[in-house]
Each structure stands twice: as structure tokens, then as C-alpha cells.
Amino acid sequence: MAPVEPWERIFIDVEIYQEDIHSQINCTTCHNGTSVDDMEEAHTNLVPDPAKDPVKGCGNCHPDISPHAAESLHLTLEGYDTAVYQRSIPEHFDRIEYMEQYHCQDCHATCGDCHVAQPDSVGGGLLEGHAFVETPPMTRTCTACHGSRVQNEYFGKNEGIPPDVHFRARMACVDCHSGAEMHGIDMDNNHRYDGEESPTCQSCHQDQVGVGSGNPWHEAHGTEVLSCQVCHSTTYTNCVNCHVEQNEENIPFYSVEDHYLGFYIGKNHLQGLERPYAYVPLRHVPVDKEAYSYYGEESSYGENLLPNFDNRPTWLYATPHNIQLHTPQTESCEACHGNDAFFLTPDDIPAEEVAANEDVMVEVAPPLPEGETNIYRDDVAPDGTAPAEGDSGDDASGDDAFWGDGASEDDSPETETDEDEAFWGDDSAPSTEEADTSTEDEAFWGDQPDDNEAEDTGTTQQSDEDFWGG
């Protein structure tokens, strides 16, 4: 993301803003405060983000959106409550809520965070001189928050792993995630993976999947045994734990102490009508037994706040955003069947978390069913020129052989999808964040209109602010 000067963040570009219908509304109608030539007085009782309460702030004129958005996961963060409460007991809920007030405020996504200004977590800053931007620019809104997981996967920033095929086809987040989904319209879910699956891969690839597609891989499994990501996604970030703390000045923060790349197929603990898959990729989420217990002296949030830690797996249903046509686990049927390296087995799980993950792990990788013949993918020769099965797996370095030395895809995937040697092409895509943007690309990349520096597109904010990615 472009480093934005502090003044620029609050600079209203009259040229642009006057074209916007909202400029007819008085500032104070939305922001409170008083219109006087004295900053302190003007800012008294100011409401920096009028959309914190979307019904009050925008509901008069956007009644079809605001009440739904007010209940959306983006605004309520109910997904976190669901995950945390399930591991806790009602007696602790108010302590947890208290903790969340300190640690989670910045990540609530308001209307303004998608349409008017960059999120607080990256320091705010008006997107286009206070214009209300209809299509949220990807890197300055979505991936500013969804940084460490989705962004790194999608843009190919995890070392050695190419960007998502859809990214290479120049699709932005909103090409799959509609306004209606973002506004929580017709959604009554208390967690990301609650309720109808949306968006779905099938909605765009219907003819290419399942029985009747003519693709032996798809034919063998239909569309309900495996989620698409089991075969089409690859190594992703797993977080070890997360602790909330406060510094000497009582400023709250969190830290995720460790993370690693890996790929783990396991059982789907959400299996049901909406997500029928027996197997899905699982991601270790940043939680451990002591996650919310406090470390310092004064402001303990409480001891043992997650007494029911074992009620919910720590390895959870995941939809990694690094879809590839070809992946290491699909080099042959038996690259996956019978190969523990790609599955979540007890060996992968620390002893204190085994109980929580009983329902999702497998003792051994399921063998190829009897009567089935192992085949190799068309681009992989069965005579050993293909990377050996044992080479790949959750050992991230093993992927290098497959993806080819950190090299990666360029912006025109068509050119090499069926080339076998130069697997991911010969250029340097993990650093394609700097997809040198010509001006017409700016809407896609979400650059500022007056920004002529190309190298900021992929955000430099890799680490800190990325807590809520994914």
C-alpha cells in the first residue's frame, strides 16, 4: 500500500468530492462537531467514523443495506465470539467481551472502511479525497485487513508459492465476494463457514467439475467427497498461538508467536448439507489454552478462560486463497491416497491439542480404494521425472522442487499452464506484488489516483497489522 502522508489521510479533494452526492450533506450531519474556524472547538464531540452505527449514519438513505450490514460478521465480529465462546463457559463471557473491547476494536469493518477510508489498522486515510467509492479497492481495503493469510496466499507472497490462478487472471476480491455478501444480505450466519456456502467454485466452473466433466480426478470424487481446495490449494500459513497483552502504558496488543507453512487435509467438522465434503484442508488457527489469560501484573483478563478448549478443533476448515491448476498432491492418485505427508495425522499435533482435534485428524491417509488404478496427471511422467511423492508434503522446503526454486507464475497464466518443465514459469512472481501498474490497472490494484509509485501495490504491511487476515 502506498505510504500515505499523515495530512493526506484527512485531505478532502474538492475536485473529486464535489462530484459525489454525499458532498451535499453537511459534514456535521455525519460527523457531529461544529463548523467553526477553530480546530479544537470544531472537533468537540466529533464522530470520526459515522458508520460505526450504520443504521444511524447511513440508514436513512441506504435502508436496503444498513440494517443487514449492522448484523454482518464484518461489523459484529460474531465469528470470533462463536469460536471463543465454544471453548469457554458462559461465566467467562463478560471477561472475554471486556478483553475484546481492547483488542478487537480496530478490526470491525464499517461501511467507511470499505467505501471511504482505509481501515484504522493501517492508519486510516481517505481513499479518494472523501469520495464514497462504490467498488472497494482491493489492496487498500480488503487486503489491508485480510493480510497475513488471504493476501499472502492470493498474491503469492508466501515463499515459493505462486499466486492464485484467479489473481493471475486479474480478478479482485469483489469478483467473487459480492456487495450483497459483504453487506450480509440474506445471511444469518454466526461464523464465516456457517450457512450457505457463498461464494462457490461451482458457480463459475459448473461444467468443469463433478461426474460428467470428463476429468478423471473430478469423476472419481464427484463434488461432495472433497472440497475443491483439497486438490487445488496448496501450502498455506498456520499460526501457532495468539496472546493478548498490554504494554507498560497499558496499550493492549496481541502477538502471534509462531507460524509456519504447511498443507493438511483432514476431516470436515462442519460436514452437513451446506458443506457435504468429507475432507477439507485444515488450518491451525491462532489459539491456545492460555490465549486470553493474562501475562502482566495488573490487568489480568482472567485465569483459564477457555476451560472447554477441547470443544473445538484448533485445526479448522480452511479455504486457502492460493488456487492452482496443478498441485503437488495431484501428481498422481497415490501422491495423495496413502501419503500421510498431506494429511493431518497425530504426529502433526502437539500432545495438548490432540483431544481437541480427535474429530478432524486421520490415523493414516486413506488408501486408494480397491479396484482403482493409480494414474499420473497428464503433465507428470510416471517414470520418475516427476518429483517423487515423498518430496512434497508439509515440509515446506519439499515444495521447492515442485514449484521450482521460488520461481513463479507471471501475469499471463495461459502461457504455461500446460508446460511441464518450467513449472511456474521463469519469473519472480512472489514479488509480483509490484505488478507494475499502468494507470488502467489502478482500479484493480486500488492505488490512489495520484500514486505513480508502482512498488506499493502489494502492501508493505506484511506483519503487524495483519492479525485478522483470513
List of residues contacting another protein (CB under 8 A): 5-7, 10-14, 21, 23-29, 31, 33, 35-37, 39, 42, 60-65, 121, 123, 130, 147-149, 152, 237, 239, 242, 247, 251, 253-259, 286, 463-470
Tell the residue number behind the cell numbers 461465566, with chain if given.
91
Angle at 323 between CA 381 and CA 173, to 5 degrees: 160
174 binds ligand HEC (CB under 6 A): yes
Segment 449 to 468, residues that bind ligand HEC, using CB under 6 A: 468
For 167-231, the DSSP string reads HHTT--HHHHS-HHHHTTTT---SSTTSSS--S-SHHHHGGGSSTTSS-HHHHHHTTTSB-HHHH
d(CA 35, CA 26): 9
21 binds ligand HEC (CB under 6 A): yes
Segment 38 to 67, residues that bind ligand HEC, using CB under 6 A: 48-51, 54, 57-58, 60-62, 65-66
d(CA 267, CA 195): 19
Decide whether 131 or 356 has the Cβ nearer to ligand HEC.
131
* Partner whose footprint covers residue 251, from another protein, ligand HEC, none (CB < 5 to 8 Å by kind): another protein
Least Å from the CB of residue 69 to another protein: 13
Tell the residue number behind the cell numbers 521450482, with chain if given.
404
All cell numbers assigned to 344? 493431518
Measured on CA atoms in the order 444, 446, 449, 450, is the torsion positive or negative? negative
All cell numbers assigned to 137? 479497492
259 binds ligand HEC (CB under 6 A): no
Decide whether 42 or 176 has the Cβ nearer to another protein.
42
Angle at 382 between CA 378 and CA 386, to 5 degrees: 85
Least Å from the CB of residue 386 to ligand HEC: 13
- Indicate the residue whose CB is closest to ligand HEC: 79
The binder of ligand HEC chosen from 32, 202, 271, 462 (CB under 6 A): 202
Decide whether 135 or 299 has the Cβ nearer to ligand HEC.
135
Decide whether 106 or 298 has the Cβ nearer to ligand HEC.
106
- DSSP-derived secondary structure letter, 85: H
Q: Which of the ranges 90-98, 250-258, 328-336, 381-389 carries the binding residues for ligand HEC, by CB under 6 A? A: 328-336
Least Å from the CB of residue 167 to another protein: 19
d(CA 72, CA 76): 6
The binder of ligand HEC chosen from 130, 243, 283, 312 (CB under 6 A): 130
* Partner whose footprint covers residue 77, from another protein, ligand HEC, none (CB < 5 to 8 Å by kind): ligand HEC
Cα-trace Rg, the chain: 24
